């Protein structure tokens, strides 16, 4: 493996220059005489030379790699990890590569996963996404951020941990307005208990703002069941129907809950959107697969990923970062098609 490796010295030999010059040419740093530059580049090409990143990382004591941590809840398995995060993970990987960064991925729950990638010198810092229910993990990252480790998160900001989020209040209000527009007059809001997860509180607030502006009655129900979001939606919907509340519209603050609610509505023989219209939040792919397909606020994943990466780079280098909310887009589908 190592025996066959071509190093900068080989290139230097072929080009008849010193190894330092090879390094300078290939990094395009200081000025190099044009003819020498050409000679070195040719030699490098001829030998198929690619600089060893481990060596240059060690020398520069930086890694140009991001440790991407996906938090998942022990209540869910990896299989039921919210697809919002798995998809976002893919986009982050692409966005980071586009900026010349490699991405080390690790899953982490309260019980599993270590946080040592940066301490071991394998990454420059962390991008953290995933379930915000996991207070223990978030606290660990907050502590790291206090210690000066670059940490950028999705969803939850705190003192030193800079995070971005969707324009939750406005987007939720837009979705609820849409329900009103298609004729809903008794709209309930289903949501996980916000707890540390700010986004849910904000989406509920968006719902409330519309209800109050329109003088309509608020019906907000939270789920505390320690299961995955889908089951939370299923159970919560049944509970609301059991209460005997009259309903013609549902706003779920997360798509998985909306999908769970849809199942419950079917189990009760209620037609969607005929008797009850339904709208979710996130824009996960599965909302297109259901029957009927579900209207939702689609988050702009590529934009979120790019922002996380550019903010990561900003935090690492002490530059300014942009923490403004990333706008989502209401996508109207069958579940509100009247």
Partner DNA sequence: CTGAAAGCGCTTACAG
Work out whether 173 is an interface residue with its own copies (CB under 8 A).
no
Determine the size of the site formed for its own copies (CB under 8 A): 60
Report which DSSP code applies to 326: B
Q: Of 306, 298, 287, whose CA–CA distance to 233 is shortest? A: 287
Residue in 26, 43, 44, 103 binding its own copies, rule: CB under 8 A? 103
Nearest approach in angstroms of CB 50 to DNA is 7
Q: What is the dihedral of CA 135, 307, 65, 73, to 10 degrees?
A: 20
Binding part of the chain for its own copies, among 13-21, 25-33, 112-120, 197-205 by CB under 8 A, reads 112-120
**Cβ atoms of residues 26 and 53 within 8 Å:** no
Binding part of the chain for DNA, among 15-23, 180-188, 203-211, 269-277 by CB under 7 A, reads 15-23
Structure tokens at 297: 């606020």
Smaller CB separation from DNA, 74 or 99: 99
> Using CB atoms within 10 A of its CB, is residue 76 exposed (0-12), middle (13-18) or buried (19+)?
buried
- Residue 74 and residue 62: Cα distance in Å, rounded? 33
**Cβ atoms of residues 197 and 155 within 8 Å:** yes
- Residue 179 and residue 252: Cα distance in Å, rounded? 12
Distances (CA, A) of 235 to 79, 225, 242: 20, 9, 10
Work out whether 317 is an interface residue with its own copies (CB under 8 A).
no
Determine the size of the site formed for DNA (CB under 7 A): 29
Q: Of 183, 192, 175, 209, whose CA–CA distance to 279 is shortest? A: 175
Nearest approach in angstroms of CB 197 to its own copies is 21
Which of the residues 19 through 78 are near its own copies (CB under 8 A)?
A: 50-55, 57-58, 61-63, 65, 68, 70, 72, 78
Work out whether 317 is an interface residue with DNA (CB under 7 A).
no
Structure tokens at 222: 């939270």
Structure tokens at 52: 């060893």
Smaller CB separation from its own copies, 148 or 215: 148
Q: Of 267, 266, 293, 265, whose CA–CA distance to 280 is shortest? A: 293
Structure tokens at 50: 């690619």
Distances (CA, A) of 131 to 228, 277, 282: 11, 28, 14
Residue 158 interacts with, from its own copies, DNA, none (CB under 5-8 Å by kind): none
Nearest approach in angstroms of CB 22 to DNA is 7
Residue in 8, 103, 164, 315 binding DNA, rule: CB under 7 A? 8
Structure tokens at 238: 């049944």
Residue in 33, 214, 268, 288 binding DNA, rule: CB under 7 A? 33
The sign one gets for the Cα dihedral 122, 97, 67, 83 is negative
Work out whether 18 is an interface residue with DNA (CB under 7 A).
yes
Nearest approach in angstroms of CB 27 to its own copies is 14
Residue recorded with tokens 């740093």: 29
Residue 36 interacts with, from its own copies, DNA, none (CB under 5-8 Å by kind): DNA
State the binding string over 41-70 for DNA (x if CB under 7 A, else -). --------x-xx--xx-xxxx---------
Q: What is the dihedral of CA 76, 82, 86, 89, to 10 degrees?
A: -100
Residue 167 interacts with, from its own copies, DNA, none (CB under 5-8 Å by kind): none
Residue 17 interacts with, from its own copies, DNA, none (CB under 5-8 Å by kind): DNA
In the complex, the residues that contact its own copies under the rule CB under 8 A are: 1-2, 5, 50-55, 57-58, 61-63, 65, 68, 70, 72, 78-81, 83, 86-87, 89-91, 93-94, 97, 102-107, 112-114, 116-117, 119-122, 148, 230, 259-260, 262-263, 266, 285-286, 288-291, 301
In the complex, the residues that contact DNA under the rule CB under 7 A are: 2, 5, 7-9, 17-21, 23-24, 26-27, 29-33, 36, 49, 51-52, 55-56, 58-61
């Amino acid at each position: 493996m190592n025996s066959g490796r071509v190093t900068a010295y080989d290139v230097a030999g072929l080009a008849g220059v010193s190894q330092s010059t090879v390094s300078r040419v290939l990094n395009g740093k200081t000025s190099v005489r044009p003819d020498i530059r050409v000679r070195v580049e040719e030699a490098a090409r001829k030998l198929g030379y690619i600089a060893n990143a481990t060596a240059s990382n060690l020398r520069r004591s930086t890694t140009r790699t991001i440790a991407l941590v996906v938090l998942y809840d022990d209540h869910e398995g990896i299989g039921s990890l919210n697809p919002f995060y798995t998809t976002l993970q893919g986009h982050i990987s692409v966005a980071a590569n586009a900026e010349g960064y490699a991405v080390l991925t690790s899953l982490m729950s309260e019980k599993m996963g270590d946080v040592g990638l940066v301490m071991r010198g394998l990454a420059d810092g962390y991008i953290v996404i995933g379930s915000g229910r996991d207070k223990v993990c978030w606290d660990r990252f907050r502590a790291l951020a206090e210690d000066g480790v670059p940490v950028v998160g999705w969803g939850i900001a705190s003192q030193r941990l800079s995070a971005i989020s969707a324009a939750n209040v406005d987007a939720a209000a837009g979705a609820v307005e849409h329900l009103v527009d298609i004729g809903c007059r008794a709209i309930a809001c289903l949501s996980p208990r916000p707890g540390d997860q700010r986004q849910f509180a904000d989406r509920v607030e968006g719902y409330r703002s519309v209800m109050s502006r329109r003088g309509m009655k608020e019906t907000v129900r939270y789920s505390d069941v320690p299961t995955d979001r889908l089951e939370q939606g299923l159970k919560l919907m049944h509970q609301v129907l059991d209460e005997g509340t009259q309903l013609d519209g549902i706003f779920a603050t997360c798509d998985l809950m909306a999908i769970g609610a849809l199942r419950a509505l079917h189990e009760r023989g209620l037609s969607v959107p005929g008797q009850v219209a339904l709208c979710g939040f996130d824009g996960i792919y599965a909302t297109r697969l259901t029957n009927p397909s579900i209207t939702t606020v689609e988050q702009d994943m590529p934009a979120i990923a790019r922002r996380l990466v550019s903010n990561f780079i900003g935090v690492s280098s002490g530059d300014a970062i942009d923490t403004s909310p990333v706008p989502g887009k209401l996508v109207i589908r069958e579940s509100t098609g009247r």
